[in-house]
Structure 1
Amino acid sequence: MTLDLEQLDATAAVEAFKDGSVAPAAYAEALAGRAAEYSNLNALQSFDPEYLIRTATEAFQAHPEAPLSGLPLVAKDNINTTNYPTSGGTKALLDHTPTNDASVVKRIIHAGGFIGAKSRMHELAFGITSNNAITGAVRNPHDSNMIPGGSSGGTAAAVAAGIFPAGLGTDTGGSCRIPAALCGVIGFRPTTGRYAGDGVVPISHTRDTVGPLARSVRDIALFDGVLSGDTSAVAEAKLAEFTIGVPRQMFYEDLDPVVAQAVETQLSSLSSQGAKLVEVSFEPIWPHNEAFSFPVVFYEVMRDLPAYLAKHAADVTFEALVAGIGSPDVAGAIDSQLGDDAMPEAAYRAAMDIHRPEMRRIYGKVFEDHGIDAIVFPTTPLPARPIGGDETVDLNGEQAPTFPTYIRNTDLGSNVGAPGISLPCPVTSDLPVGIEFDALPGQDRSLLALAGAAEKAMTQ
């Protein structure tokens, strides 16, 4: 077997290890070469080629029949690992090596895989550009002058460039799906709570989740099974089995022409191959979404981050962490919560007790009223933009705020706790575009079945 590292997915790699056509060490050596070749992307924070090659053989020999036997993965640098430091992309934690792996890492190891490197990220996961003043900007493999998205930008860039077959990111408001869309890979946000969340540098325990990034839906299904323990089969489905909602309001408004054309072309393709598309609207949900999204993040981060430090990095104080933040956008966000303007508890309680239940009710009712299995929309309103545009980006001739513009379409699913998956959308332009499918909370495996059918339709 030839090692086409841009195309070979994780499933095929493990199959090759097991049938003897590729040695795990040879595969790992090829990945190490790829990492050196694409070092300009600045995707990796911690990486030891010798460890990678040695551990590939050891992991395969220890678990020869396991689902990830011998497979190296890259993990975002806010997920605790004992073999590499876990910095959260911030100065105070650069030398912080946890004493315990995060539970998701333990599951990877139990399934025969291992963490071969840690990836760079937006500082403290508090942004979508991965332009980090402490560790440097991660670059998009399709154009090194462009952002890869974030905050899991290093994982997405490493997977897209063939440095690793797949990896782990985290997603609070879109941090797996946005970089997947901008780098041309697949990013999955599971139903909130589906994967264990311990041992992760947090933003919000209500909204955070680990999520896999990969180059095929079958790989995402493989990792979802490992990380969740859900061994139910992902059905081989046909598009004609699905009714999909198209929420034109908000999701399809003010799109970059490249995104609009690519997504509309794929909607036509999905329809022509049997999917039933119906127009839906979430209009009543938006005031609740606004009252929930940032209040929960700002209130919880000021409590969850100190709690993480106390448990996993007791020698680092919260004050030292804040003082060491280097990225202006992240420093501004955290500083805004240190004084009299901090998010009040009353706004947080209203978000949790009033707005979240109402969002979930409206979201579920739209699905029920229209008999839909999922909704479909552009993952982001625009493709990647140049590195350095952390405050504003150009969208249709106007300067739009970077962060809220990129998370506009991914935010709602995060807030209702729904699973969502971003797939690469075939384009004629140089930069990738993502198309996302979101389902009801708990419908992760059926969403992956739909994604598998859509993946086939969009590559024919």
Structure 2
Amino acid sequence: MNISELSCSELASLVSSRTLHAVEIADALIDQVDKLSDANAFTGFDASSVRADAEQADRDLAAGRSKGPLHGVPIAFKDNINVKGYATTAGTAGMRHFRPQDDAPVAAKLRQAGAIAFGKNNMHELAYGATTNNALFGPSRNPFNPDHVCGGSSGGSACAVAHRMVPASIGTDTGGSVRIPAAFCGLWSYRPSPGRWPKAGIVPISSTRDTPGPIARTPSDLALLDSVIVGHSEVSKSSMIQGLRIGVPDDFFWDLADPSVFRVCSDALDRLKSMGAILEKIDARRLLDHHMASTTIIAFFEGKVTLEGFLEAHGVGNSYETVAQSVAAADVRSILLDQLKSETAVGRERYAEAVNIHRPALQEEYRRIFRDNSLDVLAFPTALIAPPLIGDDATVVLNGQEQPLFPTTIHNTDVGSNAGIPGITIPVGLTDTNLPVGLAFDAAAGADRLLLDVAICLEEQFPALKSRYL
């Protein structure tokens, strides 16, 4: 039995049946972390604490005390999520000494269900980026080619799961930050509808858009983790693909994709069609005006307000300006510092227009698209590009033209994120250069369970990818 290949669901079943001890799992995964330390998936990892928690889980089970459906299962956390016993650095120097007194609610719920906190994962600095080439902790390295990034901002989470160091990690997603790393590393991930998963105790960017979300190797694990967080489980519908109506928005979401990415995602749609799905080409261009008029304004305005509130509420000991000044990445530092200058800050009037006029209009347009076309999901490449090289942080060449890296990477995931709709990414294959590609599904607002049901029905068709180097 190769413990490092097992999913959360499999590990939980083996522990509950006493076929496998929690400490055996812990030891096997600790060995994997040690063996693959060059991947740089973790910013904080306490092997002795993990092992002690596993030993306690075994004692509890021997005494007839099961804590819940994740008893003895290791789960890692992105380093912007408060986990008692670890620092919450958010990947930046100004917070590296902050040690929270309590778990964030999302971490607390998982621990209450028996999960073992398995360290803190590397991330893009303060979650403002898509590479996890972190100046403080170093870059997380892609398992398919260590010269390439894992994506961001939850890159260390995807790195750890893809390297089989842990079966799942909890990241955060504001514009694509769990789905892009999962796609770049050949994994499954899920962005819940904002508010479905609690976001307290997490270093924020946007009160409107932020949500924690899981990265795992199976969609069954995504559903299991969701059921723990929301407090109930549902039986998956077994015939979701036959007759599933999939909207394919060619304009904007598909037409700009790298040809190799386009081919892999198109092949995946053909497989879905052969399984009985119905593909409908739709015009989604009306989404874009309201999206472009609100996305950056909301994130930048709320970025200052929410981070100031977090620093004060949690007694971090540094001000917003101090944290901003200490940011290592020049592009991230300029975003934060610009909010301190009257000539570059987003004003309240522009913010009010974005959040009260343009974002609701964007949400209404999504409702119209799903309603008028009788759609279950929208499908598109998770990212237009394959994982770029580490160090190519500013620009990327796409279809022969140099483009800014960050907006190009989040190009497809950011629209639904802004509207507050749920999304998943599915591992669908490799490019011509053997780098992973993800296909994204977005569902209507609140249709999280439908999305997870669809994902579970595709588990056998699209297993997590594994690098030949592992």
What is the TM-score normalised by the length of structure 1?
0.97
Q: Aligned residue for 1:29? A: 27
Aligned to 1:107: 109
Give the aligned partner of residue 284 of structure 1: 286
Counterparts of residues 334-373 of structure 1 (less than 5 Å): 334-339=336-341, 340-373=343-376
Superposed CA RMSD: 1.4
2:92 to 79, 90, 93: 90
- Change over 3 Å in CA distance of 1:33–1:335 after alignment to 2: same
Per the TM alignment, residue 65 of structure 1 is displaced from its structure 2 partner at its CA by 5.7
Structure 1 residue 457 corresponds to structure 2 residue 461: yes
Trace 1:403-414 onto structure 2 (pairs within 5 A): 403-414=406-417
Does residue 49 of the first structure (1) align with residue 52 of the second (2)? no
Residue of 167, 179, 182 corresponding to 2:181: 179
Q: Deviations over 1:266-319 (max 9, x none)?
A: 111000110011111221110100011000011001111010000113422222
Please, which moves more after superposition, 331-340 or 228-237? 228-237
**How far, CA to CA, are the matches of 2:407 and 2:20 in structure 1?**
45
Distance in 2 (alpha carbons) for counterparts of 1:225 and 1:61? 26
Q: Say which is worse superposed, 122-131 or 64-73, in terms of deviation.
A: 64-73
Q: Percent identity?
A: 38
1:376 alignment partner, SS class: strand
Partners of 1:93 and 1:175 in 2: how far apart?
A: 20
Aligned to 1:253: 255
Distance in 2, Cα, partners of 1:166 & 1:228: 17
Pairing 1:431–2:435 present? yes
Q: Specify the alignment match of 2:447 in structure 1.
A: 443
Query: Alignment partner of 2:31: what SS?
Result: helix
Q: 2:38 aligns with which of 26, 37, 40?
A: 40
Which residue number in structure 1 is paired with residue 11 of structure 2?
13
Number of the residue aligned with 1:149: 151
Kept in 1, the 8 Å contact 2:384–2:408? The answer is yes
Deviations 1:52-96 (A, max 9, x none): 122123235445261100111110000011111101111011111
Q: Secondary structure at the match of 1:355?
A: helix
C-alpha distance in structure 2 between counterparts of 1:60 and 1:224, whole Å: 25
Residue of structure 1 in register with 2:385 after alignment: 382
**Contact persistence 1:270–1:457 (CA under 8 A):** no
| Structure 2 residues without counterparts, runs of 5 or longer | 465-470
Q: Does the alignment pair 1:274 with 2:276?
A: yes
Equivalent-residue separation in structure 1 for 2:93 and 2:32 (angstroms): 28
Q: TM-score, normalised by structure 2?
A: 0.95
- By how many angstroms is 1:428 displaced? 5.8
Q: Which 5+ residue runs of structure 1 have no aligned equivalent?
A: none
Partners in 2 of 1:247 and 1:193 — Cα distance?
27
Amino acid at match of 1:200: I
- State the partner residue of 1:66: 68
Q: Deviation at 1:459?
A: 5.3
Q: Deviations over 1:201-260 (max 9, x none)?
A: 000110100000000000000001111224333322341141111111110022112211
Change (3 A) 1:354 1:425: same
Which is worse superposed, 150-159 or 61-70?
61-70
Alpha-carbon contact 2:3-2:25 (below 8 Å) kept: no
**SS of equivalent residue, structure 2 residue 430:** coil
The aligned residue for residue 2 of structure 2 is 3
Aligned match of 2:468:
none
* Alignment-mate amino acid for residue 112 of structure 1: G
Q: Say whether residues 1:240 and 2:242 are aligned partners.
A: yes
Distance 1:140 1:337 in 2: 33
Aligned length: 458
Contact 1:25 1:53 in 2 (8 A): yes
**Structure 1 residues 374-424: Cα deviation after superposition (integer angstroms, max 9, x where no partner):** 111100001101011111012122211100001010011101111100010
Counterpart CA distance in 1 for 2:45 and 2:296 is 34
